[in-house]
Structures are given as structure tokens and as C-alpha cells.
Chains A and B, each alone.
Chain A
Amino acid sequence: MFYKDTLLKQVLKPGRYTGGEFNQVIKDVNKVKCRFCFAFPDTYEIGMSNLGVRILYGALNEDPDIYCERAYAPWVDMEEQLVKHGIPLCSLETGTPLCDFDILGFTLQYELCYTNVLYMLRLGQIPLLSAERGEDDPIVIGGGPCSYNPEPVADFFDVFSIGEGEEALVEFSHLYTDMKASGEYTRQKFLRAAASLPGFYVPCMYDVDYNEDGTIKSFSPKYDGVPEKITKRIIKDFDKAYFPTKPVMPYIECVQDRITVEIMRGCIRGCRFCQAGMIYRPIREKSPQTLNEQAKQTFDNTGYGEISLISLSTSDYTGLHDLTDKLLSWTDENMVSLSLPSLRADSFTDELMQKISSVRTTTLTFAAEAGTQRLRDVINKNITEEEVLKACRVAFAAGKTAVKLYFMIGHPTETDEDIKGIADLCKHIIDAFYELEDRPKGKPQVTISVACFIPKPFTAFQWEGQDTLEEFRRKQKLLGHYCDDRRIKYNYHDADGSIIEAALARGDRKLSAVLLEAERRGMKFDAWSEFFKADKWFSLFEDCGIDIKFYTERKRDTGEILPWDMIDCGVSKAFFKREREKAYEGITTQSCAEACAGCGANRLGGECTWCPNTKK
């Protein structure tokens, strides 16, 4: 505990800042060669629940030369104290100020956390701009899903790790220690060397030129040996991938206090709006054997009472029944429950219902994403109305009266018919309830949660224009009008957050200036509704002389150089173009389990479940 008591007694939830949790890693700082700090740009409670951070923290600490510590964004009451007394933001393990680390790694999980990255740099007393950092400042590295388009935050990062970091970050740290040991190290030399390490992108090693209309004219490496394209890193043998069976256990309550095991990476479905489904390809699974052992070991080391099997689409995991049987052989007697998020409606069966306790106790949730079959075909959400109804019938027959569905509005080609379709589907679910002979007592309730479509890099819809704010609001109102049945509960988010997110998601380097100004204006915690202020963002763009619609509403030409073109995520641009054409024609693409659609991710190699030429 390194912040003084006096300070901690003046803030809410001091347990966020004390460290010293069970299973935290303690090393002798004088015996390690590289001091690494993992920074999560959101609160402790959210960051501690992130499996990616747990994996990287454990993987780096497996190496005796590296000591990886943690830091989270302090809540604003703590910020006030730190600023008032001139105390820097420190790591939890040893209370070291962030500015004293060799390497500071940020994980970028969502675009709205960008302001918090700058907030943490400032509190950690590190120059915000990469160009302004000196020899004694840490190397600031970014990773995570948002780093697939790192350009909006390019000015603040010295380097980005593209793709899966378990192995890459260890190599990166060794490059650092080797250069330090040989005396070759200077910031510039190190970054130059890092740029040629597979899977690392060093923004300052590239020149960008713009056309008069603001689009990119050219993007090129400044020096020989700096690659034109950065291919993402993957773990080739996922079954043998490092897994943290001794996770740090927070004392204070976090979002996910449970055992999480990652059963596969990637997704066989090719939903055309979904970025995660593309950037984690090719699809790799862990064996039920390995997963069962990892879950059991984690249970022995933590005593958690719940296991969550996570992936993008859990029911597509080929060993699901084998795995649940293996787990149930020891979980029941130990009072451990199983939960299975991300179930597809078409996979939802009586048998699963019996096995999975979370299914028994919570409201069932399915992602339908669009209201009509036509639009579901456009976005390639290969699920039929009948499949949704069937899943609901199973749930109703098992005694449930409430179900929850996710939708999105603003998809390309959407018409008012499709909006109405959302309400119609809900009504059909209600009818299905009453048609059922062995239905439970009471009234059915269908809750829908309706998000706004955000075109994302590395999807078939990466060139699309987003709906205007007015159009989103009109559609939201229209849907409210169609949801005229009291048994439908209609929830939606305000559209402006999705618009800011969209601008940042497909932004270029020019947006770094906007974010710098956002930090100067004290903006932070923008992923929190109590802090996010849409007007502040809109006037920020305006004051910086940047037209936000250029990034959101503008439909890109498929020939345009996109800000993220230097990244190779495995899935090819040709595939995205084909998928886009098929979307316009309303033609669906089969899942990888049915036929390979030739997305290109198999080039990356690895032990993949479905890909041709790489099959196990």
C-alpha cells in the first residue's frame, strides 16, 4: 500500500488503489531487467474483470527478467487528491510512479476510453505526445481490439502491438533489455528495431500525405527495413497457449468475480458488421481436456463459485458437450455453477438448458440484430425467425416468462419496413407464448435492447456511411411507435455516443489533435454515461476545425486508402469487398463450419479447426 492512508481515507472505494490482492505477483525489482506496467484506461473494477489483461499480466510475469505490474484509471475523487498534492499515479504492486517504468502498455478495448489514456499519462507524469518523450520516459505501447486502427491515437503511442500479445510482448520486452544490456539503446534506435519486429507498428516511422478533400494520398515507411504492412500476430497452437490459472483476486467487488476460460478464438459466423468476428480469425479451439484442467486449476487457486465459458459464439465450439460433461463431473459437488454467455438462438436446446445453471437462473438473451429476414441476410446474421421462436418456446416451456433480444438499427440498406420488423418479431414471440400449452403462469415479457450501427474497420461495412443523428432519432421514435404492446420493453441508447465512437473507430491521424484538445478540456471517462457529454464532443470537433461527418456519414470509395490499410489482420480486403457486394444483393455467406468462404485468415497458419490447408 503505497498511497498514504490520509489520501485513501478521503476517497470512495480506497480498495481500488491499495493493491496487495491475493495472487498478485511480487518480484524483487532489483533482480529484474524490465519493469513493465499494464495500464487499463478504465476503473479498477472493470479492468480487473478483463481476461486479456489477466493473460498478458501472467504471461509477462512468467519470464524471470520481466516484472509486470498494474495500474487503472483512478476515479475523479482520487484524481483530485493526486493533483492537489502533486502525487503521481502509481502501480499497484510496488507503488512505482508510471513515469518510472521502462514500458507502459495500454489495452485499448473501446474507442471511448481514448480520453482516459491521456488522463492516465498526465497523472502518471508522462509527456502525452510520443514526439515529446525523452530518453528517461517509458516506452508507451498500445494493444487490444482498437489497435487495429491505431491512427486516431497514433501521436500518443510510441508503438502498437498488433494482434495477440502473449508471445509478442515478451519478445518486445527482450528486445528492450537486450539493447539496454549492450548499451545500444536510445529511444530512436529501439523504436526503429521494434518496427521490424513482426506484429509491431511504430507510427513515427511512417509519412502520411493527404489529398485536398482530406482523404489519404499516400502512406509510406520513412526508412528502409520498416515494413509497409504489419501482419498481426497469432498464437499458432492455441491449445498450448499460456493461460493464467492463478489470477489476481480483487478484494473489492468487480464486474466479473469468476473463473473465465477462453474456449476458442475467432468466430465461424461472418456477421458483416462485426469486427471481433474478423480480427480474431482464424478460428482456433482449445481441447475440452485442456479447458477442463485450466478451469479446475483456477478453481483450486481461487475458490470462485462460477465458471464462465467465453468466446464470440460459445455454441459453435465443437467440443461443447464434452467440455460441459467434464466440468459437471466436479463442479456440482463443489457448488460451482456454469455460465455460457454468447449463445446463439439456433443452438439453444433442452439439453443445454438442463446443464447450464446460468441458463436456468437468468433471463435468456439472444442477438437477432435485425427485424426482417431480408435485412438479416444483408448483414449475414444467419438466423431465421423460426429459430428465434423455437428458442423462446424452449425457454417458455422451461418456466421462463421473460426473454431479451439484441438489435441494431442503421444497418446498410435498412428501410422503415425493417424497423417495423423488430416490433413484429417481438409480437410473434408473445403469440408463441400463448400458443404453448404448457406455458408458465403469468404474462410474457420481451425486452429489446436496440443499439446504433457503427461501421468498423476490417468489416464488410468498413466503407459505409453511418446514419445521421436525426435519422437515428427518427428510427428510434418510429420503433417506439411500433412497440405499442405493454409486454414489449423497449430500451435504446442515445445515438450520439455511437456517432463519436464511429468517428474515432474509422479516424485518421488528424484526430490525435482532437483528442489532445479533449484532454486539455478535462474530458475523461467518456465510456461512462455520467461523464459523456455529446455537445462537448461536437463542439470539440468544430473548434478543432474537423468535420466529424467526414468520418461518420461519408461513404468511402472502395479504392480509397483507408487509415488502417497498413495493418494486415489476416482477412483480406478482397474478401471484405466480396462480402459487401453480396450484402447489397442480399446473399448470405455460409459459416466456416459449412464451407470455407476464403477469407484469407488461413494464411496466418496455426492449428485451425475449420480452415483449409491448416486443418488439424
Chain B
Amino acid sequence: MVPEYKKIRLRFNKLGPLKFISHLDLDRTVKAAITRSGVKIEYTHGYNPRPHLVFSLPAALGMESVCEFLDIKVAGMEPDEVRTRLNGALPPDLQIIEAYEPQTDFRQIETSSYVINIVSPDITEETPQRIINMFASPVIVEKRTKKSETGTAPFDIAPYVKITKCEYDGEKLVMNVSAAASNSVYINPDYIIKAISVNLQISLIDPQTSLYTVLRTEVYCQDGQLFR
């Protein structure tokens, strides 16, 4: 009897050392955990069957996230049990927050929100305002693209970035940012940080004195609704 598979969406976080693993590494890590958990999922067909995993646009290397998505097809198990089982087999820095039968499609994702922290001796009380001013005009970065021969092309990221908070607490600069994350335009938050660093001459090189972190907090659809 062919078991009936049901699509289940997993929202998970990716923290700590896991922020430095590539998409391929994440794929292998999750596959091994699914095997350990005993959750039976659908395999690809063909000569060399592999577990069938579909990820949404993954967090970039170096970024932490509490809002990553993965769709799997599971037979004979409710989402809640899938979540409990998988969490038992997954590393502590990669845990499933929610599991449910999805009504939406990853293609509906339009923007992502991030919390960015920046520490550098070059940051001053004026920095937040200067950042806001900077994004009121075009901010040109060398953006990676497959279309150009050199692999990058100048691109104005300002229209695709919305800064909702930008404060300096005397120690670190804290920004809440929402940026395009659709299939057609995706702004890696590293571009925002790099542009700030270059334009406002904020050095981020010395590990003793500087640091920046990015956390992806949410993902939204076109109409501004939370994506689930």
C-alpha cells in the first residue's frame, strides 16, 4: 500500500554555530536528523532516492534566524508529533518552532525583517541620523548578479530597504530593518551593513573592538501580512 503523504511546513530557527553553515550543510544536517527521529518522509523517486526537502529562501551565511521554513511530506503523523520528534533529534541551535499544514506558497514571500547590531569605535551619537539620511537617497552597492560578466553590478538598494528603528545606546547601534526577499529582488542585509561601513567610514575589521550581527525575525507577504 502506498502511504498517503501530507505536506507539513516547519518554521525553525538557526542560531549559534549554525549561522556559519551553508545551505547544503543545512540540508545534510536536517536529513540526518530526520533519519534519527524516525519520522517517515517522502523520498525522491529515481535511481538514488533522497529525502525530499524544500527550503524557503535560506538565511545567508553568517546570519542567525528565528524564521526559516522547510516543507516536507510526512505519512501518518500529525504536525505536533513531527515537531516533538524532530526537536529531539535536532541540535539545540536548530529547533522547530511551529509545524502545520501550509496554505501558502514560498513564492508569496515579499520581505524579511531583521535586527542588526553593530559595534565599532567609529560609531557616534550622530550615526543613526546619518544612516537614515543616507537611505533617503540612492545607496549604490556592487550586487551579485548572474546577468553581469564580472558577477556583480551596481545596484541601488535604498528603495528596497525600510529602516523602522535606528538607535545608538552608547555601546552598540541597533537597527530594525525590513528588506526585499522575493524571488525577483533579494537584499542580503550584509549589503546594508557594508554600505554603512563604507559610506560612513565605520570600521568592522578588528575582532577586539568591532562586531556586527544579523538576526532574521520575520517574513512577510506582498500585502504586509505575516507569511506562514
Contacts and interface: CB of A to CB of B under 8 A. Distances in A.
Whether chains A and B associate is yes
Contact of B29 (A4, A14, A251): A251
Given A15-B17, A303-B34, A305-B35, A6 B25 contact: no
B32 A252 contact: no
Contact of B21 (A252, A305, A334): A252
Interface string A7-24: 111100011001111100
Contacts of A22: 29, 33, 91
A10 B205 contact: yes
A415 interface: no
Given A19-B17, A251-B18, A302 B204 contact: no
Interface stretch (B158-166, B208-216, B217-225): B208-216
A564 interface: no
B21 A251 contact: yes
Given A6-B207, A85-B207, A253 B24 contact: yes
B70 interface: no
A249 B94 CA distance: 14
B31 interface: yes
Contact of B36 (A20, A21, A300): A300
Interface string B112-138: 000000000000000000000000000
Interface string B1-37: 0000000000000001110111011001101111110
Interface residues of A, number: 32
Interface string A76-114: 000001000101000000000000000000000000000
A4 B211 contact: yes
A15 B207 contact: no
Contacts of B46: none
Nearest to A249: B32
Contacts, number: 82
A4 B43 CA distance: 39
A302 B211 CA distance: 34
Contacts of B206: 6, 85
B62 interface: yes
Interface string B59-96: 00110000000000000000000000000010101000
Contact of B207 (A81, A300, A304, A305): A81
Among B17, B29, B36, the one with the most A-chain Cβ atoms within 10 Å of its Cβ is B17
Q: Is the interface of A mostly helix, strand, loop or mixed?
A: loop
A460 B36 CA distance: 47
B21 A303 contact: no
Nearest to B26: A251
Interface in A1-50: 1, 3-10, 14-15, 18-22
Contacts of A301: 36
Contacts of B210: 6
Contacts of A5: 62, 211-213
B151 interface: no
B207 A7 contact: yes
A303 B211 contact: no
A335 interface: yes
Nearest to A7: B207
Interface in A260-310: 300-305
Contacts of A81: 207
Contact of B17 (A20, A300, A303, A334): A20
Given A9-B62, A303-B32, A303-B89, A18 B17 contact: yes
Contacts of A303: 31-36, 89
Among A6, A81, A253, the one with the most B-chain Cβ atoms within 10 Å of its Cβ is A6
A378 to B, nearest CB: 44
A257 interface: yes
A249 B25 CA distance: 11
Nearest to A3: B207
B170 interface: no
Contacts of A87: 207
Nearest to B24: A253
Nearest to B37: A303
Across the A-B interface, give the 4 residue pairs with the lowest CB-CB distance, nearest first: A303-B35, A18-B17, A303-B32, A20-B17
26 contacts: A1-B16, A1-B17, A4-B208, A4-B211, A5-B213, A6-B204, A8-B20, A8-B62, A14-B20, A18-B16, A18-B17, A18-B20, A20-B18, A20-B91, A22-B29, A22-B91, A85-B207, A87-B207, A249-B29, A252-B22, A301-B36, A302-B32, A304-B32, A304-B35, A305-B31, A335-B49
Given A8-B62, A335-B43, 5 more contacts: A18-B20, A20-B18, A20-B91, A251-B21, A305-B31
